[in-house]
Amino acid sequence: MNFDYIYLINLLQLLVLLMLGLSTLYIFIFSLAGLFYNQIPYPEVTKKRKIAVLIPGYKEDNVIIEVAKDALLQDYPRQYYDVVIIADSFQPETLKILKKLPVVVIEVSFQKSTKAKALNQALEFLGNNYEIAVILDADNLMAKNFLTKVNSAFESEFLAIQGHRKAKNMNTSLAILDAASEEINNHIFRKGHRVLGFSSAIIGSGMAFNYSYFKKLMSEIKAIGGFDKEIELKMMKAGNKIEYLDDAFIYDEKVQKAEVFLIQRRRWLSAQFHYFRQDFFDSLKCLILNGNIDYFDKAIQFIQPPRIMLISLLPVFGGIFVFLNYSLGINQLYSIFWIVVNALCALTFLFSIPTEFYNLKTLGALKSLPKGIILMFGSLSKIKGANKEFLHTKHDGNNADSV
């Protein structure tokens, strides 16, 4: 009976160790690689491509006017880019102000709104007079040289480029943790992946595409949530690479309220699980038959547990099993593995968090980490069906303590 009891503990320990250990090893490898990232220099070119800056927004009256005005201040020649506001359910007063600005306003309305529908309708309206499509969220602000850097990078053979999305506000503990999380993902899924020859992950905003390619690609996108995930998978399956521009900055509003965090993470997690289930076996087939490791990696990426869950689960399970191993005389090799996996996880965060976050403000924000962990588990428990509905996260435009 005692043998059976220990056997079950060992079996459970092995399963948990494999799941958490493999996930940790995955992000550790790319976080280590990210330390060797060097931005490819794309010198400014004389050729100026016509750019459509597409800004879809749903009831974003609080932020859209500031964003539209700011988008007009690029150092890129004004005659070579248009700011296109895709207005879904805006107030009449907001539309009136927008139409006085030198921007293109496209009003859209749907029974069930989605970002993909809004973009597709705008692309149909605009026609084919552009060479690059830049996609922003309704709260995003571009660095003044963003379009110049994007234009230069399109001298290469890439069809898609992801810019460096950074926080524009650090005014709450949740915002600081959200900003740090974004930079961790930038390091692992963009810098680290590019160093090892994989595609950069895209985020849904701050990204640029060859216009005609994007228009054709979007016509095939029917996603309710996570349209960027569907784009990635289609590009990877076709063997296309996505570049990352670490020095082309997009400033993004970070979440400040728990309810917004919950909705946002629920939407993200639901999209990831949906596309993992949809594409895993297809990506495995493409890996075996065609050697398409980029597509397979992308599918695997979607099943990775959120970093905030790893950092909470590893010490808990590690502590429990190390204690049981010692108390019950179980092979101490398991305990060594737990220590190693926890160390790799700690090193992953050490490598991935930019030095600018090593300050007293971040230290103070850590008091909200347990709350963030609880919210993330709450999001995980409510993801069923979330990919089949439009989950809007409203931005309030509070830019206090902006960076």
Of 207, 257, 256, the residue nearest 232 (C-alpha) = 207
Q: How many CA atoms, within 13 angstroms, populate the side-chain half-sphere of residue 242? A: 31
What pairs with residue 107 in β-bridges? 87
- If you ran DSSP here, which 8-state letter would residue 219 be given? T
| pLDDT above 50 for 399 | no
175 and 167 Cβ atoms separated by less than 8 Å: yes
pLDDT band at 402 (very low <50, low <70, confident <90, very high): very low
Query: 119-147 in b/e burial notation, b at 16+ Cβ within 10 A?
Result: bbbbbeebeeebbbbbbbbbbbbbbebbb
Mean pLDDT of the region 264-274 = 72
C-alpha distance across the termini of the chain, in Å: 61
- Residue 400, pLDDT score: 39
pLDDT band at 272 (very low <50, low <70, confident <90, very high): confident
pLDDT band at 403 (very low <50, low <70, confident <90, very high): very low
What pLDDT digit, counting tens, does each position of 160-206 carry?
999 999 998 888 888 888 899 899 999 999 999 999 999 999 998 99
What percent of the chain shows pLDDT beyond 70? 89
**Reported pTM:** 0.88
> How are strands ordered across the β-sheet holding 51-58?
104-108, 81-88, 51-58, 132-135, 207-210, 160-167, 242-252, 141-142
- Residue 309, pLDDT score: 82
What pLDDT digit, counting tens, does each position of 117-165 carry?
999 999 999 999 999 999 999 999 999 999 999 999 999 989 999 999 9
What pLDDT digit, counting tens, does each position of 19-67 carry?
999 999 999 999 999 999 999 889 888 899 999 999 999 989 999 999 9
Count of Cβ atoms closer than 10 Å to residue 110 Cβ? 13
CA distance 300 to 116: 24
- Residue 401, pLDDT score: 37
Domains and CATH numbers, the chain: 7-36+275-388 (no CATH), 51-257 (3.90.550.10)
- Bigger pLDDT: 380 vs 165: 165
Q: How many CA atoms, within 13 angstroms, populate the side-chain half-sphere of residue 158? A: 25
- Residue 223, pLDDT score: 72
Q: Rg for the chain (alpha carbons), in Å?
A: 22
